[in-house]
Amino acid sequence: MMKNAVEVRGLTVVRGRTTVLDGLDLVIGGGVTGLLGPSGCGKTTLMRALVGVQQVRSGTVTVFGEPAGTPPLRDRVGYVTQAASVYDDLTVSENLRFFAQVLGVGPEEVERSAAAVDLTPHLGQVVGTMSGGQRSRVSLAVALLKHPDLLVLDEPTVGLDPVLRQELWGLFHRLADAGAAVLVSSHVMDEAERCDRLLLMRSGEVIADGTPDEIRERTGAADIEGAFLAVVGGGAPQ
Ligand SMILES: Nc1ncnc2c1ncn2[C@@H]1O[C@H](COP(=O)(O)OP(=O)(O)OP(=O)(O)O)[C@@H](O)[C@H]1O
């Protein structure tokens, strides 16, 4: 398993008038890492910095030894945003073929990435007629076209039913087992248990970092939600 996929040093990001991240230090390795914290704590901002689309005030973000967002990383980092970034009026297959062409990957990757997210039976379906979970998986399939070594997924399970959530988490672990570093954000604390490592965030800071077991043991809490509350000193999540 890789040690440092991502190294963040002294990262400060100001958005509008808000200092969202203030001198953040962080290292992310292989496996499935969960980034958990209340809405507005800076998860998306941090993810944007990792993929190189966020203007930063100061500090460094290094991915596989290269500055985030630079050309050597283009084929190595996949990013799925909260908003689906596929075309509703095209079929799954048409979407994947279109993005394959844009990304310069062969048509054989279309079938592989559709199969990876269990969408083979839906290749001919128009995306606009699919359920939320299926559409999320189309976005994910696009991100998989290039075999990314780092996959950054911003709240990929939002609005999905428990069965689909479980399926997607299974997929994240299969991708991690195949060698990718997978970073998944969520504000649903019960998803924490599914991560190899957890980063609990609040107000732009990482307030706990460890396996779910370690974090529960350290705080004496029964679950991650309790651990989160213990770390923030009893304050309720926003
Ligand atoms: N475009 C923007 N301009 C100014 N401030 C912004 C902008 N986008 C986000 N912010 C602010 O940055 C802070 C962090 O937002 P961010 O989207 O990173 O949080 P988050 O933890 O991902 O939240 P959520 O779970 O709701 O997606 C918030 O205070 C938000 O109001």
| This prediction's pTM | 0.90
Cα 45 to ligand 1 centroid, rounded to whole Å? 7
DSSP 103-149: HT--THHHHHHHHHTT-GGGTTSBGGGS-HHHHHHHHHHHHHTT--S
Cα 145 to ligand 1 centroid, rounded to whole Å? 28
* 15 within ligand 1 shell (Cβ under 6 A): yes
- Other CB atoms closer than 10 Å to residue 83's CB: what's the count? 7
Helix/strand number for the chain, H first, E second: 7, 10
* 26 within ligand 1 shell (Cβ under 6 A): no
pLDDT, mean of residues 106-130: 93
pLDDT of residue 237: 43
Lookup result for tokens 């200092």: 19
- Express the helix, strand and coil content of the chain in percent, nearest 5 each: 40, 25, 35
Residue 1 has pLDDT above 60, yes or no: no
pLDDT, mean of residues 154-163: 84
131-154 tens-digit pLDDT: 888 888 899 999 999 889 999 999
Tell me if ipTM is over 0.90: yes
* 202 within ligand 1 shell (Cβ under 6 A): no
Residue 234 has pLDDT above 80, yes or no: no
- Tokens of residue 131, six digits: 């359920």
Cα 43 to ligand 1 centroid, rounded to whole Å? 8
Q: 238 or 199: whose pLDDT is higher?
A: 199
Q: Mean pLDDT across the chain, nearest whole number?
A: 90
For the sheet with 18-28, list strands across it.
Answer: 18-28, 6-15, 58-63, 66-67
16-46 tens-digit pLDDT: 999 999 999 999 999 999 999 988 999 999 9
pLDDT of residue 83: 81
